[in-house]
Amino acid sequence: MASSKTSSKAAASRAAKVLKSKRSSKSAKSVAGRTLAKRAASITRIKSAPKRGKVSRTSIRRAVRSVSKLKKARSKR
């Protein structure tokens, strides 16, 4: 069962260093990849639209930007 806790910024930076290192083992890189994926998922949450009222242009722009960032992140995998 996956943990619902998010990874810290420091843990994510250490994980990135492990992935860049040529000397890291396969299992270490696997764990580091999971850590970075968990961190990325916690950062790139899409905000839901308001339930009532008008939707402003800025909120639409924010939503479009967050979706495009998410797509770019997924395409880099």
The pTM is what?
0.48
**Would you state the pLDDT for residue 77?**
67
pLDDT at 58: 76
User: Which of these, 44, 39, 42, lies nearest to 67 by C-alpha position?
Assistant: 44
Per-residue pLDDT of the chain (77 residues; tens, 9 = 90+): 455 566 788 888 888 888 888 899 988 888 888 888 887 766 666 556 556 666 677 777 777 888 777 777 777 76
- pLDDT for res 23: 92
